A and B are shown apart, each in its own frame.
Chain A
Amino acid sequence: MQEWANQLCENRQFGSKMTDSKYFTTTKKGEIFELKAELNSDKKEKKKEAVKKVIASMTVGKDVSALFPDVVNCMQTDNLELKKLVYLYLMNYAKSQPDMAIMAVNTFVKDCEDLNPLIRALAVRTMGCIRVDKITEYLCEPLRKCLKDEDPYVRKTAAVCVAKLHDINAQLVEDQGFLDTLKDLISDSNPMVVANAVAALSEIAESHPNSNLLDLNPQTINKLLTALNECTEWGQIFILDCLANYSPRDDRESQSICERVTPRLSHANSAVVLSAVKVLMKFMEMLPKDLDYYGTLLKKLAPPLVTLLSAEPELQYVALRNINLIVQRRPEILKHEMKVFFVKYNDPIYVKLEKLDIMIRLASQANIAQVLAELKEYATEVDVDFVRKAVRAIGRCAIKVEQSAERCVSTLLDLIQTKVNYVVQEAIVVIKDIFRKYPNKYESVIATLCEHLESLDEPEARAAMIWIVGEYAERIDNADELLESFLEGFHDESTQVQLQLLTAIVKLFLKKPTETQELVQQVLSLATQDSDNPDLRDRGYIYWRLLSTDPVAAKEVVLAEKPLISEETDLIEPTLLEELICHIGTLASVYHKPPSAFVEGSRGVQHKRLTSSAGSGESVESPDTGSAAVSEAPPTVIPSQGDLLGDLLNLDLTPPTSTGPPPAAAPGMQLGAMDLLGGGLDSLMGDESEPPPIPLRTDTPQSPQPPHQSPSPPDYSPTELGGDIGGSPAMGAGFGAPPAAMPASFNAPISGGLDDLFDLGGGGGMTMGTYIPPKTVWLPAMKAKGLEISGTFVRRSGVIQMEMTLNNKAMSVMSDFAIQFNRNSFGLAPAGPLQILTPISPNQSIEAALPLSTVGPVMKMEPLNNLQVAVKNNIDVFYFSCQYPISMLFLEDGKMERQVFLATWKDIPNENESQFQIKDCHLNSDAASNKLQGSNIFTIAKRTVEGQDMLYQSMKLTNGIWVLAELRVQAGNPNYT
């Protein structure tokens, strides 16, 4: 051993030839013992060599923890190399020997005071890595000093050390006030200190999602942007990633940040570029689309993304996964860059597959010829997965670009002729989809497909082929023979094939009943009697019963027209996509999964969303808007009648807790204010790309309508309702006979409507006119393949109108809109077709007004003012239901003659009468009557009894029903009959 060490020293002297590798080869017995002796040697050089051997053993996974005291003894040295080695050892084993580790503390503390900044930093860096509670206690003081060290190198190391300490003992960090010191470092003069402080704070903030730790405000943002220009490439990444979490106040601020971030797109480091892209993609949401700068920014994004593709393959892969997201969110950025995604012969397979994905996404009528030529080349490659994907891509092109369908089909046929087994199978699977997209167009190729029947051995391909045979049984002469051939090995087939075969034979039977009776019986008995698969058995029984009871019905069911398949397949769901856009560059964007799917514990699990303009989502939360958080509640479910009543009764007793206003004297007022901020702004921002949060209303039954128009008079509160307004005979028969009694259920909508009207009445400076509830989202984009509809009902000069904002959040253009109503209580029906002349392109929104008539078919709805609507576009038909304010049904000629009023008032049977109270309404009678008149509620007479104003009012509904009311105005206690 001595000899060997000498030799080593010699080698050292000769310089270049080193022999560290020898450490890896010592595998003698009693090694530990020998090492121990060497570690305690007097000779420095020998000591160092021994420590090196220890580290080498540690690396290969040998347990050398027994040497702990001996190694720690070597720590007291002025040889930096040796010191570093000992520290490395300590970091590995301190946890297993906590008591011994204490021995090292003194040295650490001493080193933190060393004159050499490199040693100070080394000590504080290493101490943070030793996860022993007792040591962390001693760490605090040195760390505090180092955070304020005069040398930036020490400060930047100390900044990271705070994050380390927080990972070990979060409470300690908070108690010691390190977080504030760390925050101060954001203003440090040295850019690297700033960058590390940002990184540390971001990490700490992630484990405290609700803390205001990273208090990003325009001042700090400005500091970060300044540091961005000066710090290392890595620091730039930390800062950009942190910036991405900031929500600018307005579009001007986001533009100015974007302007300062764009130069980063020319950085040589791809990660800097991607993080800059993330910031830009996020902040771009906030810029108005008509802004010149918006267009400039879009143009600036393409070249750096393309440049990423000339990076090393691993980075290309990361870039491609991200481009896949970017293309889905903003296809316009890269639409002209198709060529760069063409696959190169020697690309690694993971790059090839990703490029192929993006090619399909970018395929359009303009470039389809090129794309198809490429895909055809790929289909002759070697890698099976790649070839399959290429074949599948050809099919997807056919479905996506109608003009190319014919060429795609012929390309697929060419490929089938190659007779390469997996190519044929893949081609058949996609041809099935093409048949479904373009029925009755390409069936001529069926004959060619049938030739390859025997070569199919994969379940998916077999199932596809069987589907084709069944679907087009009438055109294939020997369909029965073909299917029979499959039937022979029925039990060996996979479930997919079995199910398909069953259906296909039933289809065949329905088309050619005479020749195939035997076959169908055979398959039914195979499926029902000889199979243990419940799915198969059930389907078999259903067919059997259908066929035996009603063959006509069976035909209707089995041979029903199939809905067309959609153009874009495997798009990422929009909300997930939004979240992933916020994670550009990170693992989440590589996996296409939210961080919560692969990160353990609470860290990094909080969901990020794109914020569009002010007024939605996070920005509402900022304290200066003075409102409580409006949670992003899902679109409220329309409560049933029973719940409505329940809600009504509960109102006063249980102020809503979910949205959080204090139960003060006027709970509704506060809610109203909040709704105004939430709902009101939302409807103003009709074109934003995120579904506006729908405030959950609990104070009125019409939850989707935020009814309060103005929060200004503090003493005003919405109506409280307490009973029936009056029974009525069947609604359908409702004509003339005043005062027609109302069914009990009428209560809810009408009271809601009145509630709304009164709110209007409360609005101090409001102009007179019909009350228009703000728009609410009726059809969220998620439920309707990207189409979002929000709207409201208005009565304008005697015509009821449905005003809608249609917002396209999907990737493709929407056109061919049409609308239909289900039968409803008041016979509402569109008076004309829906006037949407131009197709709505992605992210565009359009206002549409639909005049309504009340002469449609009538059916009583629950609740009464419920309206079920179907909207159709080129993609699909969507259904939703909404509720209209009853007040829009009040006619202009609802003013009853005084005499008639008196007469009818007296005739109202008692059971048709109802009373309820509107509390806390400090409005004098005249004002109230004026307000109400704006909504076609007419005051017939007024009298004063015992200091109370009595208003007698009438209104007429579109179906001719009259409603009479008595409004008793007495401070705080108006009474309605």
Chain B
Amino acid sequence: MLLEVFLVLGTVIIYFLLSKKKEETLPFKEGWWGRGQKPDTEEDTTIRPFKVETTEEELSDLFRRLDQARFAEPLENSCFHYGTNSVYLRKVVSYWKNQFNWKKQVEVLNKYPQFKTKIQGIDIHFVHVKPPHLPEGQSAKPLLMVHGWPGSFYEFYKIIPLLTDPASHGLSDEHVFEVICPSIPGYGFSEAPHKKDFDSVSAASVFYELMVRLGFKDFYTQGGDWGWLICTNLAQIAPNHVKGLHLNLASVTKMGFFHLLSVLLGRYLPGLFGFQDEDVRRMFPFLKKGLYRILLESGYAHIQATKPDTVGCGLNDSPVGLAAYILEKFSTWTDLEFRNLEDGGLGRKFNLDDLLTNIMIYWVSGSIVSSMRFYKENLQKGIGTQKHERLTVQVPTGIASFPNEVMHTPQAWAQKKYTNIVSFHFMPRGGHFAALEEPELLAEDILQFVGKVEKEHLWRKEGDQLP
């Protein structure tokens, strides 16, 4: 009897030990996302230069819609508690009609070289910026930066110069980057998939193919929002090619008993669960800062994960509706306190030109519906159920934890998934749209992270397993 018990126990222990050592990779996801059947001919792999364009017709159509916009009066004293306040929205629309210059903004967008190339049947748009000059003996390090929803490649326009030309911006030029910012398929100028099931692993596979096509053997990746998940998946698919993974959001989707316990007791025994003072400050009281906050702020994710075509329909037809929907996030996700302000605090951290340029990218490309479908493709089977959610990440990881992110993930939780955290910093200020809101802070954190990885040669180099 005792022997059997020991045998069983022994097997269990060995299983756990072995299963921990076995670092499984996520398989590369093949796909064909173009219209109809995949043709027999070889795919066109050329990389074509791309420029954003606009026409008089496009502008006059927009102005007509702005002129005919119908608004509903807000409730008295509701500020941003019921969503975007329509009194403030009228001001935005007035600026949009009379002062915002889309032609000028198109020139701003085109100041960085952009390209398109066909991968897995769809045209992928990306920005590719090389450093203007390199210090002696240095080579540019490729850095893939992935945006999220409702953002775009434009979010990176302020941080790109800090990374490609740090010296001119008062930063150390020990590491200089060549930055690649693709648009997620279905967002902005990247073609939307025509088939169902295009999820974050599909996006990661497409972006991996992109980096290979651009000739990079290894590279760094950076992301927040969906970019966080896509870059994480990329690190899981191709760990030997991702030198380092930097994130400004590090959600944990696979919650277990440990997490539950730490939520219940973490406030009183923070040390036991690996919580630092700042973690406790940001996370507790948990009902208010965790659960209720998530419930209050996740309605958009719920409807987009279930009925994207319905909710996106009106937004693709009404630029004012589109603006209201997107601006609400730029308000609340930058600082939850902004809900108490009549103008949602939107002018405090961003300027209207930047906000409207981002919205125009969704408008002129008609991509709001396809951008929302990404939620359904990723969430419809439930949170915590996907294979990639069960796998860990061994690539050196750096996490910049911004204080106004909607929900805080402590290092104690993140390290269960990201087993090789090289740096984890509590940023002094900033919210969800870090690259646009606090580009210097984010750039500094990326630079110090890469510095650590490079100095200690923290990336592994083993045999190539991928095509």
B is a partner of A: no
> Residues of B at under 8 Å CB distance from A?
none
